[in-house]
Amino acid sequence: MFSNNATGTCAIPPNVRNADGTPVDWWSWEAATGFRSMHPGGLYFAYADGSVHFVSTSIDLGLYRALATIQGGEAVMPPY
pLDDT, tens digit (0-9, with 9 covering 90-100), for 40-71:
899 998 888 888 999 999 999 988 888 888 77
**CA-based angle 7:10:15, to the nearest 5?**
90
Let me know: does 57 contact 43? Beta carbons within 8 Å: yes
- Comparing CA positions, the residue from 6, 11, 7 lying closest to residue 69 is 11
Q: What's the domain count of the chain? A: 1
pTM of the model: 0.70
What is the domain extent for residue 48? 1-80
- H or E element, residue 53: strand 52-56
Number of neighbours of residue 64 by Cβ within 10 angstroms: 20
Between the two ends of the chain, the Cα-to-Cα distance in Å is: 29
